[in-house]
Chain A
Amino acid sequence: DAKTTQPTSMDCAEGRAANLPCNHSTISGNEYVYWYRQIHSQGPQYIIHGLKNNETNEMASLIITEDRKSSTLILPHATLRDTAVYYCIVRFLSSNTGKLIFGQGTTLQVKP
């Protein structure tokens, strides 16, 4: 599985969009980009995943660049409850090994 690089921390004002970047320059053609978040030592929570097209669900949007070497997770209207560590992970859809290289993630602090 390809490695990812994320900024260590980011701040966002409550109500504004939070844009979290991730670099995955060694991603292969069959690897998906997954985003998880972990709130204060709770279990990691799945947010969204995608291959090459932009994706949107009730939680967030995922923008993947055309060359697939980077992506951005967008929380459209951040709330205080979105304060968490966000992890970008690259993984094969068919992988059954369960190995997730979480890295250090981005600590997002949403401020009032």
Chain B
Amino acid sequence: NAGVTQTPKFQVLKTGQSMTLQCAQDMNHNSMYWYRQDPGMGLRLIYYSASEGTTDKGEVPNGYNVSRLNKREFSLRLESAAPSQTSVYFCASSLTGKGRSGNTIYFGEGSWLTVV
């Protein structure tokens, strides 16, 4: 039981390049999320998916796209990377609305992205 797994852990991009961050969870959770955390700041929600086949914008969606490929996987794509997207990206998941232990959000270990 690996929980939430993100790849890659580290990536350096040049401005204008594109890339996809991959995320998978093995907890049979229905909801998945992508956050970014800038130095000294709290986490900000980029996109979320409440169920397979649905996605919604969070606080800071500009410059990103997402795909909920199936129940397990939720990817984040940067179409044309910019230096302002240099950050640590966290994928997370939760079992929304399923009993009193539900809705706890579990996080991956993070992906460090630098755009030069």
Contacts of B96 in A (CB 8 A): 94-96
Q: How far is the CB of B36 from chain A (nearest CB, A)?
A: 12
Q: Per-position contact with A for B23-58: 1 when CB-CB < 8 Å, else 0? A: 000000001010101000011010010100000101
Taking CB as reference atom, which chain B residue is nearest A48?
A: B104
Contacts of B107 in A (CB 8 A): 43-45
Q: Give the interface SS of chain A, mostly helix, strand, loop or mixed.
A: loop
Taking CB as reference atom, which chain B residue is nearest A46?
A: B104
Q: How far is the CB of B7 from chain A (nearest CB, A)?
A: 14
A44 to B36, CA, bound (A): 12
B-contacting 9-mer, from A58-66, A68-76, A98-106: A98-106
Q: How far is the CB of B50 from chain A (nearest CB, A)?
A: 4
Q: For the complex, is B106 an interface residue (Cβ under 8 Å from A)?
A: yes
A residues sitting closer than 8 Å to B (CB atoms) are 32, 34, 41-46, 49, 87, 91-105
